Amino acid sequence: MDDKQRESDLAKAHQLRDEVMQGLHAGEPAERLLLKAIESMALTEDDTVSFAEAKQTMIAVYGDALGQKVPLQIELEEFQKRRERIKDSYERFQNTEEPDTLERMLNAIRTHDHRIEYLKARLADHSQSQEE
């Protein structure tokens, strides 16, 4: 890693640490604060594995398995962003890319659409159970 990248990583780590402290005062969900803290530690230690692993584990255990709202929201946000990037690529390369590559992109968009709808349904179920 070059010095500029390391400086950038350390600056982001400090920013995340500040966001954690501000989030505590603002009442930001603990799950989001925990992920920011883990990402900050990983950036500080030049650890490329811990943050991604922690995030995946939180989504799998607390979101998928336990149905907690915030991890489901985090996963939904990620799927929506990734779907938009794939869709943008599809539209940008629609006239220049090979048909099989375009079909793979469309399949990825459809897969993301299914997961997004599933997550929205889980969150709606969560909201209804909170009202009862």
Q: What is the rounded average pLDDT for all residues in the chain? A: 94
State the pLDDT at residue 131.
60
Position 38 in a domain: yes
| Residues 31 and 73 both lie in one domain | no
**60 DSSP 8-state letter:** I
| Residue numbers of the domain that contains 132 | 69-132
Position 59 in a domain: no
| Residues 26 and 82 both lie in one domain | no
Position 32 in a domain: yes
Kindly report, residue by residue over 64-113, the tens digit of the pLDDT.
999 999 999 999 999 999 999 999 999 999 988 899 999 999 999 999 99
| Residues 13 and 44 both lie in one domain | yes
| Residues 76 and 130 both lie in one domain | yes
Position 108 in a domain: yes
Position 40 in a domain: yes
**Cα(41)–Cα(114) distance, rounded to whole angstroms?**
34
**Cα(27)–Cα(24) distance, rounded to whole angstroms?**
5
This prediction has a pTM of 0.85
Average pLDDT over residues 117-125: 95
Position 53 in a domain: no
pLDDT grade for 130, boundaries at 50, 70 and 90: low
Position 62 in a domain: no
Report the number of distinct structural domains present in the chain: 2
Position 28 in a domain: yes
Orientation of helix 50-58 relative to helix 69-93, angle to 10°: 110
| Residues 74 and 44 both lie in one domain | no
- Dihedral (C-alpha) 58, 108, 126, 32: value to the nearest 10 degrees? 40
**Cα(27)–Cα(5) distance, rounded to whole angstroms?**
32
**Cα(114)–Cα(112) distance, rounded to whole angstroms?**
5
